[in-house]
Structure 1
């Protein structure tokens, strides 16, 4: 399917101090995402129940090109450059949309 491209990223954080700093980094990044990326359909940060040192991102883009635009943004580059200092592990799963209900395509 050519439309829709997403990913799920699971970040394991080193400790509570790292989690707090990572959350601040995420807040700054989210400001940029919401203001400058029309092809980003969903960009959500979750804390799994019972896992206070884990953050899960769910990202949905109109297509692969919209993801590439996201990756090229200054706020994304800053996030990618800074995140490592807080992480114990990261796992990325790329997703191709095959169907379902979601945000309207732009």
Structure 2
């Protein structure tokens, strides 16, 4: 069963946001190369909130999500991005509904 979530990150200033964006580029490339169970790993800037970022993530199942969280490139991403944040990220797990392009639950 697919598992989906969104994570919002708020950054304190433009320099932190730029560094966060570079880290995001690196982790997205590593996820694409090494995580077949990660079906969607999309990053977004928030319209009207230039210091906020949102990740939308879809995993094939719970095991794929656990593998993602334990992957060395993800652990390193968290280590490097944590000092850049203005506060704790907001994580929301989603209950899939009707969709196209996303596996059904």
Normalising by structure 2, what TM-score?
0.91
For 1:98 and 1:104, the matched residues in 2 are separated by 10
Structure 1 partner of 2:90: 91
How many residues are matched? 103
Structure 1 partner of 2:4: 6
SS state at 1:53 partner: strand
For 1:52 and 1:88, the matched residues in 2 are separated by 13
Structure 2 partner of 1:100: 99
Structure 2 partner of 1:15: 13
Which runs of 5 or more structure 2 residues have no equivalent in the other structure? none
- 1:95 Cα deviation from its structure 2 partner: 1.8
Root-mean-square deviation (CA, aligned residues, Å) is: 1.4
Which runs of 5 or more structure 1 residues have no equivalent in the other structure? none
Normalising by structure 1, what TM-score?
0.90
- 1:48 Cα deviation from its structure 2 partner: 1.3
